[in-house]
Structure 1
Amino acid sequence: MSASRAVRVSEEVAASRTARRGIVALESSVLAQGLPIPQNAEAARRMDAAVRAAGATPAVTAVVRGELTLGLADNDLARFLAREGIEKVSARDLGVACALGADGATTVAASLAICRLTGVQVFATGGIGGVHREPAFDESADLLELSRTPAIVVCAGAKSILDLPATLERLESYGVPVIGYRGHEFPGFFTAETGLRVPAAAHTPEAIAKMAQAHWHTAGQSSALLVVQPPPAEFALASAEVDALVLAAVEEARQRGIRGAALTPHLLAAIATATGGRSMTANLALLEANAALAGAIAQALAA
């Protein structure tokens, strides 16, 4: 089956492609599993508006009743926001979800797989997955998909609950360039500062588009470019505070035997509770900011 037949593409996304407008893919797992109700609907609205304000077209990825989908219809989005009967789907799960006719909310990894099938070259999210801090080996599938998907991925770094130095090392091993937007600091999702430096920086969306073209066409690489920007300054949390909360949450999870797919939601919820909701405010703000930057990059790439 060809890529065009394998994925159901919304009419709006198809029209944008014909008109050579930028398209920004967005994950659905952050809406169906990552954020609680009603903040998930607020995130969807703010990301959609931010992409459109930049002149690009937002396209939420998902599996809808067994069909890979690029661009959720409003009625389907409402079902996903209600979160009933919606499975969390990573890249490895896409075929099974299709065969079972399931509704699946796509993670970063699954969203990148759909980008690869459809040729969408810009994707925005909050923070990528990476290497976990827990003693047992646990590495997000996001990293492998980044290594084999030619897309620009805009995020606020990797989630603060992860082993950030190890995650950066893994990205280097997988050949994924990490580009700081207007700075060389690798952000830590809720935090602007981690003490980790990225090798390159870009100061405009056009510069990022130029780097991507050189990476894929001049250098012949097929991996993603990871573009990182800190959360908006007025909402960012202090790194010392987040580090202390993460360590406490990781220890609690260890004592309760929480691991695997359940670990990340548990840790994020624990941090939200401990910060009195400030981490949730930061999360919504950075999702909106990343969508805005991705929209600008998509337009620059389309031009």
Structure 2
Amino acid sequence: MTGTARCLPFPPEIAVGDEVAVALAQGLPTVALESTLIAHGLPRPRNLEVARELGAVVRAAGATPATIGVLDGRVVVGLHDDQLRRIALSEQIPKLSARDLPFAVATKSDGATTVASTAAIAHRVGIGVFATGGLGGVHRGGTYDESADLGVLGRTPITVVCAGVKSILDVPATLERLETLSVLVAGYRTDRFPGFYLTDSGCAVPWTLDSPAQVAAAAAARDLLGLGSAAIVVANPVPADRQMDPALHDRVLTRALADAAAEGVTGKDVTPYLLARFHQDTEGVSLELNIELVRRNAELAAQVAVAAATDGAARANVPVAGISVWPRPPAE
């Protein structure tokens, strides 16, 4: 089923691909995908192959993929294959968080969108579901270093399917920040919060959702209750028999953190440095696991988008909708 067709005016700074524009206008299920994974998260040319694979996974599950990036100062929603290739194979594509977008537009620059900027743009054009690998968060070490992902999710009503936050981060502190920001966090068929490469980060989640329909229903309830200012994070763990060996994970992380400190790696450079070390020191194990978990997240996100579109169409066919009000007691 589809929802009611909508007129979607966008400013010239946002270019929506034909396939995505049709899907949005007709209320068809659509899933946003980031481009930083393509530009910075995977080695060339595997990154382009994975970008194409993710689109195919979303389509196979019944939704339209909308990979977001910035080219020549225009935010592109629904990169076509030549544009994916340009972002994947260029060595001059910077990471753009939400705060960087105005500068990229003003200077006619290219860039790859992070979780923060992808979520912001997806919401701007009316896409309600977003798939990624792992969220950014609070960095280890007790210094105040926090990903912009968290702040954007605190004010952007989108559903994000992820494998938790990257295990190189301070997971308990990140969950505390998400709670403070009123971001809704649930485990998908688990009561434990995953840690990207690890099935269980050691932290619990307050809620468990067991189906795409439940995820879609939670998002609809958030909006109907007037609580639609923050994201829903659906933490989808890698299966326990597919996770990285925890002992190997801890050894690599400990060594990489020490080397990063010794080399003066700080700020936004820490995460790509540590991920690159994982790819190197695990001899490709982390790379293949990263690809697997992103595929799984893309598939689940598409299933959620399909469930949301079906539910939205059903609601649109209800002749009378509104808020139920308890009758007042009779006057004495």
Give the structure-2-normalised TM-score. 0.88
Deviation at 1:164, TM superposition (A): 0.3
Alignment partner, residue 296 of structure 1: 303
Q: Contact conserved, 1:194 with 1:239, CA < 8 A, in 2?
A: no
Q: Contact conserved, 1:193 with 1:239, CA < 8 A, in 2?
A: no
Letter of the 1:295 partner, please give it.
Answer: A
- Aligned to 2:62, which of 55, 64, 72? 55
Deviation at 1:86, TM superposition (A): 1.4
Which runs of at least 4 in structure 1 moved beyond 4 Å after TM superposition? none
Question: C-alpha distance in 2, partners of 1:41/1:284?
Answer: 12
Question: C-alpha distance in 1, partners of 2:106/2:160?
Answer: 28
1:198-253 Cα deviation digits (max 9, x unpaired): 00011110000001111122243310000011124443113333123212211110
Question: C-alpha distance in 2, partners of 1:135/1:85?
Answer: 32
Give the structure-1-normalised TM-score. 0.96
Question: C-alpha distance in 2, partners of 1:176/1:31?
Answer: 26
Q: Does 2:149 correspond to 1:142?
A: yes
Letter of the 1:78 partner, please give it.
Answer: R
Q: Contact conserved, 1:124 with 1:153, CA < 8 A, in 2?
A: yes
Q: How many residues align?
A: 302
Q: Contact conserved, 1:22 with 1:56, CA < 8 A, in 2?
A: yes
- Aligned to 1:4, which of 10, 17, 20? 10
- Aligned to 1:197, which of 181, 195, 204? 204
Question: C-alpha distance in 2, partners of 1:110/1:103?
Answer: 14
Q: Please list, as runs of the form range in 1=range in 2, the aligned pairs for 1:232-243 lying within 5 A after superposition.
A: 232-243=239-250
Question: C-alpha distance in 2, partners of 1:77/1:41?
Answer: 7
1:128-183 Cα deviation digits (max 9, x unpaired): 00000034311000000100111100000000100000000000000001111111
1:86-112 Cα deviation digits (max 9, x unpaired): 121110100000001011100001101
Letter of the 2:261 partner, please give it.
Answer: R
Unaligned ranges ≥5, structure 2: 1-7, 311-332
Question: C-alpha distance in 2, partners of 1:293/1:98?
Answer: 32
Alignment partner, residue 118 of structure 1: 125
Q: Please list, as runs of the form range in 1=range in 2, the aligned pairs for 1:97-116 lying within 5 A after superposition.
A: 97-116=104-123
Identity %: 46
Alignment partner, residue 88 of structure 1: 95
User: Which shifted more, 14-23 or 203-212?
Assistant: 14-23
Larger Rg over CA atoms: 2
Alignment partner, residue 85 of structure 2: 78
Question: C-alpha distance in 1, partners of 2:92/2:279?
Answer: 25
Alignment partner, residue 41 of structure 1: 48
Q: Contact conserved, 1:108 with 1:125, CA < 8 A, in 2?
A: yes
**How well do the aligned residues superpose, as a CA RMSD in angstroms?**
1.4
Q: Contact conserved, 2:24 with 2:126, CA < 8 A, in 1?
A: no
